[in-house]
């Protein structure tokens, strides 16, 4: 992966935003690779005006690329809210690649992937409807709260201009790929439960918790985030089992857990 962007590909363009789009897309087509398998390239899909999707020719994993100059920040505006929540409910949220670059030196400074199964109702925020004077009056967009993601949701490919080895990137991706299986990805339950575990560790300063404590802290909150689910406790228990099967928590017996 070469972090320098070729700004000459946008010589014919006037608007700065168009220039940036052409330059970053050109770079992405030549440098992106698949984090989910061993494919060393991704193919751009037919681009519409705003969203560029890339697809792996080997494993068909799809990625949506979002580029920004300077830094990505903790909140990023994204597509329509309703369809996004439907995609989460079905467990079919796209994977994201966030690219940031310096618009002066045209160098990629950061690139990280967020696997789609980390997008949960807790991470997607509804934006106010567009004003009646807007061209798409009443349209409701969404924000992705990147700052609220657990650390393992960010799979870094480039950090501070430093390119990480592909093997390391693929390892970080595959470690939590089980959250993308239907039993955890539907509704974003797996990632939400993982987030609760990270929070309990942060808030208590301990790597141990009991099932009762887990219910007590998060049952109400998860119930609000998943209004269609009638049995939140059963779902929490099921997801703790998935996390246990994948070595994230250990079951100590008598309803006690340890975070690995």
Q: Summarize as ranges the residues that interact with Zn ion (CB under 5 A).
A: 34, 36-37, 39, 56, 58-59, 61
37 vs 156 by CB, closer to Zn ion:
37
Name the minimum Å distance from CB 55 to Zn ion: 9
Distance CA 146, CA 222 (A): 19
Give the CA distances from residue 22 to residues 2, 11, 25, in Å, rounded to whole numbers and listed in that order.
17, 10, 5
- How near is the Cβ of 93 to Zn ion at its closest, in Å? 17
**Is-contact 138 182, C-beta < 8 A?**
no
Q: Is 44 helix (H, G, I), strand (E, B) or coil?
A: strand
Both tokens assigned to 121: 């109702």
Nearest approach, Cβ of residue 60 and Zn ion (Å)? 7
Smallest separation, CB 111 to Zn ion (Å): 16
- Three-state SS for 65? strand
Query: Toward Zn ion, which CB reaches closer, 63 or 209?
Result: 63
Nearer to Zn ion by Cβ, of 39 and 102: the residue is: 39
Least Cβ distance, residue 54 to Zn ion (angstroms): 10
Give whichever of 39 and 79 is closer to Zn ion, judged by the CB atom: 39
As a whole number of angstroms, the distance between CA 111 and CA 66 comes to 10
Least separation in angstroms between residue 255's CB and Zn ion is 40
How many other C-beta atoms are found inside a 10 Å radius of the C-beta of residue 163? Answer: 16
CA distance 168 to 150: 18
Q: Which residue, 39 or 174, has its beta carbon nearer to Zn ion?
A: 39
The secondary structure element, H or E, covering residue 177 is none
Q: Which is nearer to Zn ion, 61 or 239 (CB)?
A: 61
DSSP string, 91-139: T-PPEEEEEEEETTTTEEEEEEEE-GGG--TTTEEEPPPPPTTSTTTT-
- Minimum CB separation of residue 170 from Zn ion in Å reads 9
The backbone torsions φ and ψ at residue 98, rounded to the nearest 5 degrees and listed phi first, read -110, 120
Cβ closer to Zn ion: 69 or 174?
174
Tell me the backbone φ, ψ of residue 211, rounded to 5 degrees. Answer: -60, -40
């Amino acid at each position: 992966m070469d972090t320098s962007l070729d700004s000459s590909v946008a010589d014919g363009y006037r608007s700065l935003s168009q220039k940036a789009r052409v330059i970053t897309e050109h770079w992405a087509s030549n440098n992106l690779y698949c984090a989910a398998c061993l494919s060393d390239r991704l193919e751009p899909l037919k681009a519409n005006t705003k969203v560029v999707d890339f697809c792996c020719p080997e494993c068909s994993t799809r990625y949506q690329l979002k580029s920004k100059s300077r830094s990505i920040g903790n909140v990023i505006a994204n597509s329509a809210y309703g369809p996004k929540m439907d995609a989460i409910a079905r467990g079919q949220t796209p994977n994201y690649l966030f690219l940031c670059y310096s618009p002066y030196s045209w160098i990629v400074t950061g690139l990280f992937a967020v696997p789609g199964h980390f997008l949960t109702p807790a991470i997607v925020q509804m934006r106010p409807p567009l004003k009646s004077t807007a061209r798409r009056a009443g349209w409701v967009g969404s924000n992705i709260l990147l700052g609220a993601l657990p650390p393992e949701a960010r799979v870094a490919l480039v950090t501070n201009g430093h390119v990480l080895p592909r093997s390391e990137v693929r390892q970080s991706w595959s470690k939590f790929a089980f959250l993308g299986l239907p039993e955890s990805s539907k509704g974003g339950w797996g990632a939400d439960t993982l987030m609760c575990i990270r929070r309990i560790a942060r808030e208590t300063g301990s790597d141990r918790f009991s099932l009762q404590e887990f219910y007590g802290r998060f049952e109400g909150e998860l119930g609000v985030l998943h209004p269609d689910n009638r049995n939140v406790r059963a779902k929490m228990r099921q997801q703790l089992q998935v996390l246990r099967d994948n070595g994230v928590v250990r079951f100590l017996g008598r309803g006690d857990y340890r975070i690995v």
